[in-house]
Amino acid sequence: MDNIDRRIINALQTGFPISERPYQDAAEVLGLSEQELLDRLDNLLKDQTLSRFGPLYDAEAMGGALTLAAMQVPEDGFEEVTQIVNTFPEVAHNYARSHALNMWFVLATETPEQLQQALAGIERETYLTVYNMPKITEYFVGLKLEA
C-alpha cells in the first residue's frame, strides 16, 4: 500500500459521491483518473487490504431484517459447519470466537420471514441450535480507521 492507496482509503471512509459518475467525481477530488481509482480499489480488494467496498444499507428501514446469530460448534466439526453456514446467501459475515458459542455470523434478508427461514435452515442443515441475537438498540459509532 502506498501513499495514494492511503489517501483513497482515508477519503472514501467518510463519504462517496452520489452522482452520475461517482468514481470520476471521487477520483477528481483525489487528483486521480477515474480508471486509476477503479484499478487501485480493485487491487486493494484483490490483495485483501480491503475486505469490501460498497454502501451500507439499513435493511430494516427497507423492510428487510438483520441479525447476529451464534452457535456452539464442536471443534472437530467446525470446518464442516462453517462450509454449511456459508452456503446460505443470507450470511454476510462468519467469525470464529474463543467462547462456548464459538461461531458468530450476521444474516441479512429482504424480509423478516426470510430471516426466520434462514435461521431454521441453518439449524436443519447443521443439526445445531442457532441463537438469534437481534439488536435491541442501534448506535452510530462513526468508526474511521486512518490508513
pLDDT in tens, 38-90: 999 999 999 989 888 887 777 788 888 999 999 999 999 999 999 999 999 99
Q: Is residue 84 one of the residues assigned to a domain? A: yes
Q: Is residue 129 one of the residues assigned to a domain? A: yes
Q: Is residue 121 one of the residues assigned to a domain? A: yes
β-bridge mates for residue 65, sequence order = 109
Element (H, E) at 9: helix 3-12
Q: Is residue 138 one of the residues assigned to a domain? A: no
- Same domain? 80 vs 104: yes
pLDDT value of position 7: 95
Sign of the CA dihedral running 15, 16, 18, 19: positive
- Same domain? 67 vs 117: yes
Q: Is residue 18 one of the residues assigned to a domain? A: yes
Question: Are 11 and 146 contacting, i.e. CB atoms less than 8 angstroms apart?
Answer: no
- Same domain? 42 vs 84: no
Domain count, the chain: 2
pLDDT in tens, 90-147: 998 889 999 999 999 999 999 999 999 999 999 999 999 999 999 888 887 777 778 8
Range of the domain at 29: 3-46
Q: Residue 14 above 90 pLDDT?
A: no
